Amino acid sequence: MAAWASAVRAVLLDISGVLYDSGGVAGGIPIPGSIEAVNRLRHSGLKLRFCTNETQATRGQFVQKLQALGFNISEEEVTAPAPAARRMLKERGLRPHLLVHDALVPEFDSVDKSEPNCVLIGDAAENFSYQNLNQAFQVLLGLEKPILISLGRGRYYKETDGLKLDVGAYMKALEYACDVSAEVVGKPSPKFFCSALTEMGVRPQEALMIGDDIVNDIGGAQSCGIQAVLVRTGKYRPADEHHVEVTADGYVDNLAQAVDILLASRGSGQ
Amino acid sequence: MAAWASAVRAVLLDISGVLYDSGGVAGGIPIPGSIEAVNRLRHSGLKLRFCTNETQATRGQFVQKLQALGFNISEEEVTAPAPAARRMLKERGLRPHLLVHDALVPEFDSVDKSEPNCVLIGDAAENFSYQNLNQAFQVLLGLEKPILISLGRGRYYKETDGLKLDVGAYMKALEYACDVSAEVVGKPSPKFFCSALTEMGVRPQEALMIGDDIVNDIGGAQSCGIQAVLVRTGKYRPADEHHVEVTADGYVDNLAQAVDILLASRGSGQ
């Protein structure tokens, strides 16, 4: 039996690359076995929460898309960067210049965006034009104390037609151009994982993270004391199993296999 | 008399931000006094060479633009990244995927670009679309041993309508996304400064660099043993005079003032 499968009371699931691959006309394709795997987790008595860096849509729209693909998931179960960033902006009196996907903008409708005193970037995809990145750069360089907030720091993700650059690459571009360090909201920020644990009411050592990103999912969770298993789906590449900084607690072919092992462990009296 | 002005036999001039500010319908505006300053240097008996990271045009087109603006300059006097990169690609049998400005492409007409085994980026400006950056990223990630060549590593430059992101920001994005370190052709690479010195037939301690970029012009030249003076034109910002890593050998208001000081020093028998 896998060591990581014992003593688990709560499961944190990454979404993109674990539940489905995004892209295409339907917005994505479920990874084989993952719809059933989520249902089996629900019936197992384990606590369940989804922990995503998705910022190409509001949390509501994103969940609707997943429901249409066949997943049993509700908005309240999802920990996502935009709502966390919105709270942070309000707490600190920050007025963002947004460089985000069009579909994410409504998440910030209630936030004052006049006379920006910070720049907030998400996975803007096609909105990462030269003109838009330049504009964000100029806002930052015009601030006495530049503040750059990044919704995640992923390097790339997988869509149905291939790997795509994620927000982290553009975060690095702005960090370099403006000589600043971004504040990251989302994985791998420990604060983000902690809030997901709080919402489930469990301690780190009782939780298991399942993700396809060796740094942001696995390394991030482990830095909070959460065990973490890497799936060989989504953006996974074989080299991830020999990463210089992060070693997962386990490696599985996909979510379905992770759930098989987890439930077998419970069945055996663990 | 300024210490940097003594013992100078050869002058290396940066172009953008020192001779002119680029942008607008005419392609740029000469910085006041700079056309005359170049002419005075020519008649002084000092050796003169232009050392630029310009990659928005072929060297020939670039020189034609400067001539049209009134500068006395010829193509053979200009050390630029693209010709140096072309030589390097051929020496190493590298076939580049290009992410550069449309106007730079002819510099690489004679280079085999089939089945790319490296990515070469320059200041692509509007060509830095999400789609194009993604394509370069995918080529790199598909290589067994990714090679990224960057024509310069500038953070930003000044155009007539404001500061613009330079190639360095996009270099950083690709470095991060693909976990590689770029090879830089152009300033601040010591090899690039050395080739300019060789072309003039002078030793480092006999040369003076004049530029508006504290890191790439000043720091780069100094790392080769060349004295370097920062002008307060172009991308210059007051904070550059308190840079944490680089201290210029002198600071002048503009090129004209640098030439005043230099020629006064020679007139005084130095």
What digits encode the pLDDT tens for the residues A161-206? 889 999 999 999 999 999 999 999 999 999 999 989 999 999 999 9
Contact, B122 vs B55, CB < 8 A? yes
Looking at the complex, report in whole angstroms how far the Cα of residue B16 sits from the nearest Cα belonging to chain A. 18
Distance CA B76, CA B161 (A): 30
Q: How far is B128 from chain A (nearest CA, A)?
A: 5
The two tokens of residue B78 are 């200009």
Q: Are residues B157 and B102 in the same domain?
A: yes
Residue in B107, B5, B11 with CA at minimum distance from that of residue B50: B11
CA-to-CA distance for A168 and B270, rounded, in angstroms?
A: 53
Nearest to A176 among B131, B133, B169 (CB): B169
Q: A195 lies in a domain?
A: no
Please judge whether B156 and A133 are an interchain contact, meaning their C-beta atoms are less than 8 angstroms apart.
no
Is residue B206 very low, low, confident or very high in pLDDT (cuts 50, 70, 90)? very high
CA distances to A21, A37, A254 from A32, rounded to whole Å, are: 10, 9, 8
Contact (CB<8Å) A155/B176: yes
Least confident of A13-27, B90-104, B214-228: A13-27
Which residue, B185, B214, B232, sits at the end of a domain?
Answer: B185
Kindly state whether residues B51 and B16 are assigned to the same domain. Answer: yes
In this predicted structure, the answer to whether residue B48 has a pLDDT above a threshold of 50 is: yes
Task: Please check whether residues A125 and A209 belong to one and the same domain.
Answer: no
- Chain A nearest C-alpha distance from B56 (Å): 15
The Cα of B130 is separated from the nearest Cα of chain A by a number of Å equal to 5
Among B125, B162, B179, select the one facing A138 at the smallest CB separation.
B162
- Smallest Cα distance from A173 to chain B, Å: 4
- Minimal C-alpha gap between A18 and chain B (Å): 20
**Pair A148, A173: CB distance under 8 Å:** no
Integer Cα distance of A15 and A233 in angstroms: 11
- Under 8 Å CB pairs connecting chains A and B tally to 81
Residue A24 backbone zone (phi > 0: left; psi -120 to 50: alpha; other: beta)? left
- Which residues of chain B have a CB within 8 Å of the CB of A131? 126
Say whether both B160 and B109 belong to one domain: yes
Cα-based angle A259, A66, A203 (whole degrees, multiple of 5): 45
Q: Which residue among B127, B128, B176 places its CB closest to the CB of A168?
A: B176
Of A129, A165, A178, the CB nearest to B134: A165
Closest Cβ opposite residue A173 in set B141, B172, B179: B172
Of A165, A176, A177, the CB nearest to B133: A165
Measured distance CA(A1)–CA(A4) in Å, rounded: 9
Residues B90 and B153 in one domain: yes
Per residue in B207-255, pLDDT tens?
999 999 999 999 999 999 999 999 999 999 999 999 999 999 999 999 9
Please, is B266 exposed, middle or buried when counting C-beta atoms within 10 Å of its C-beta (0-12, 13-18, 19+)?
middle
Segment A102-130 mean pLDDT: 97
Q: Do B209 and B192 contact (CB within 8 A), yes or no?
A: no
**pLDDT more than 90, % of chain A:** 91
What is the predicted pLDDT for the residue at A1? 64
Query: Is A269's pLDDT higher than 80?
Result: no
Query: pLDDT, tens digit, for every residue of B113-171?
Result: 999 999 999 999 999 999 999 999 999 999 999 999 999 999 999 888 889 999 999 99
Residues on chain A bordering chain B, Cβ-to-Cβ distance under 8 angstroms: 124-131, 133-134, 137-138, 141, 155-156, 162-166, 168-170, 172-179
Contact B141 A128 (CB under 8 A): no
B51 within domain boundaries = yes
* Contact across the interface for B128 and A131, Cβ inside 8 Å: no
Q: Among B131, B121, B79, which residue's Cα sits nearest to residue B96?
A: B121
Tell me what pLDDT residue A270 has: 43
In a domain, A11, yes or no: no
B157 neighbors B131 (Cβ within 8 angstroms): no
Instruction: Say how many residues make up chain B.
Output: 270
Give me the percent of chain B exceeding a pLDDT of 90. Answer: 91
Residues A176 and A220 in one domain: no
Under 8 Å between Cβ of B93 and B126: no
Beta strands in B4-63 (DSSP E): 10-13, 20-22, 28-30, 47-51
Last residue of one domain, picked from the residues B135, B156, B185: B185
In chain A, which residues have their Cβ closer than 8 Å to the Cβ of B155?
Answer: 176-179
Could you give the maximum distance between any two Cα atoms of chain B, in Å? Answer: 61
Give the end of a domain, one of B124, B154, B185. Answer: B185
- Judged by CB atoms closer than 8 Å, whether chains meet at A165 and B131 is answered as no
Say how far apart CA A220 and CA B236 lie, in whole Å: 40
The pTM assigned to this predicted structure is: 0.90
Average pLDDT, stretch A50-58? 94
Residues of chain A with Cβ-Cβ distance to B172 below 8 Å are 172-173, 175-176
Q: Please name which of A40, A7, A61, A24 lies closest in space to residue A204, comparing C-alpha atoms.
A: A7
**Is the residue at B176 inside a domain?**
yes
Residue A192: inside a domain, yes or no? no
* pLDDT value at residue B229: 98
Per-residue buried b or exposed e for B159-173, using 16+ beta carbons within 10 Å of the residue's own CB: beeebbbbbbbbbbb
Q: Which of A187, A267, A263 is nearest to A224 (CA)?
A: A187
- Answer yes or no: do A130 and B134 touch at CB < 8 A: no
Out of A130, A163, A177, the one facing B156 most closely (by C-beta) is A177
B91 and B74 share one domain: no
Residue of B nearest to A139 (CA): B163
Q: Which residue of B has its CA nearest to A136?
A: B165
Question: Is residue A212 scored above 90 in pLDDT?
Answer: yes
Assigned domain for A33 exists: no
Say yes or no: B90 and B179 in one domain: yes
Q: How many residues does chain A have?
A: 270
Q: Which residue of A has its CA nearest to B177?
A: A155
- Alpha-carbon span B136 to A148, nearest angstrom: 25
Instruction: Name the phi and psi angles at B53, rounded to 5.
Output: -100, 15
Residue with tokens 């997988």: A158
- If asked whether residues B108 and B175 sit together in one domain, one would say yes
- Domain housing A217: 204-270
Q: Is residue A50 part of a domain?
A: no
pLDDT at site B33: 98
CATH number reported for the structural domain that contains residue A220 in this entry: 3.40.50.1000
Residue B195 within any structural domain of the chain: no
| Partner residue facing B128 (CB), from A130, A176, A178 | A130
The residue of A119, A134, A157, A240 whose CB has the most chain B CBs within 10 angstroms, and thus the best one to mutate to test that interface, is A134
Question: What residues in B contact A156, CB-CB < 8 Å?
Answer: 137, 141, 177
Spell out which residues of chain B touch residue A164, defining contact as CB-CB under 8 Å.
134
Mean pLDDT of chain B: 95
Are both A88 and A181 inside the same structural domain?
yes
Looking from the CA of B194 toward its CB, the CA atoms found within 13 Å total 6
Report the domain count for chain B: 2
Which stretches of chain B sit within 8 Å of chain A by CB? 124-131, 133-134, 137-138, 141, 155-156, 162-166, 168-170, 172-179
Q: Residue type at B113?
A: K
- Could you count the other beta carbons within 10 Å of the beta carbon of residue A74? 11
Residue B269: pLDDT over 90: no
